[in-house]
Amino acid sequence: MLEKGARILVIDDEPQIRRLLKVSLTAHGYEVDESKTGQEGINRAAVFKPDLILLDLGLPDVDGKSVVAVIREWSTVPIIILTARDQESEKIEALDAGADDYVTKPFSMGELLARLRVALRHAVIADNAPILTCGDLVVDLVARHVMRGDKEIKLTPTEYEILKVLAQNIGKVLTHKYLLKTVWGNAYNEDTHYIRVYIGQLRRKVEENPAQPKYIITESGVGYRLMTGK
* CA 36 – CA 15 distance, rounded (Å): 8
Q: pLDDT of 184-196, one tens digit each?
A: 887 766 778 889 9
Q: Which domain holds residue 86?
A: 7-122
- If phi > 0 it is left, if psi is from -120 to 50 it is alpha, else beta; for residue 210 that is alpha
Give yes or no for residue 164 having a pLDDT over 60: yes
Q: Where does 49-156 have alpha helices with state H?
A: 64-72, 88-97, 109-122
Query: What CATH code is carried by the domain that includes residue 107?
Result: 3.40.50.2300
- pTM recorded for the entire structure: 0.83
> Which residues are registered as beta bridge partners of 111?
none
Whether residue 118 lies inside any domain: the answer is yes
Nearest-CA neighbor of 98 among 16, 25, 169, 204? 169
Confidence of residue 202 (pLDDT cuts 50, 70, 90): very high
Specify if 30 maps to a domain.
yes
pLDDT in tens, 69-85: 999 999 989 999 998 86
Name the E strands within the chain: 7-11, 31-35, 52-56, 79-83, 101-104, 131-134, 137-140, 145-148, 151-153, 174-175, 216-219, 223-226
Q: Are 229 and 215 in contact (CB under 8 A)?
A: yes
| More confidently predicted of 128 and 107 | 107
d(CA 155, CA 163): 9
Q: Residue 1 falls within a domain, yes or no?
A: no
- Residues facing 217 on adjacent strands: 225
One domain for residues 93 and 164: no
* Number of independent structural domains in the chain: 2
Contact 20, 50 (CB under 8 A): no
CATH number at residue 181: 1.10.10.10
- In this structure, the answer to whether residues 55 and 37 fall within a common structural domain is yes
Task: Let me know: does 20 contact 27? Beta carbons within 8 Å.
Answer: no
For residue 3, pLDDT over 80 is answered with: no
Same domain, 17 and 96: yes
Is 159 part of a structural domain of the chain? yes
Are 86 and 146 members of one domain? Answer: no
What are the residues whose beta carbons fall under 8 Å from the beta carbon of 172, sequence distance 6 or more? Answer: 100, 101, 119, 122, 225
Cα–Cα dist 152/138, whole Å: 9
Does one domain contain both 190 and 107?
A: no
67 within domain boundaries = yes
Residue 38 inside a domain? The answer is yes
Angle at which helices 88-97 and 176-183 pack, to 10 degrees? 40
Q: Is the pLDDT of residue 218 over 80?
A: yes
Structural domain includes residue 2:
no
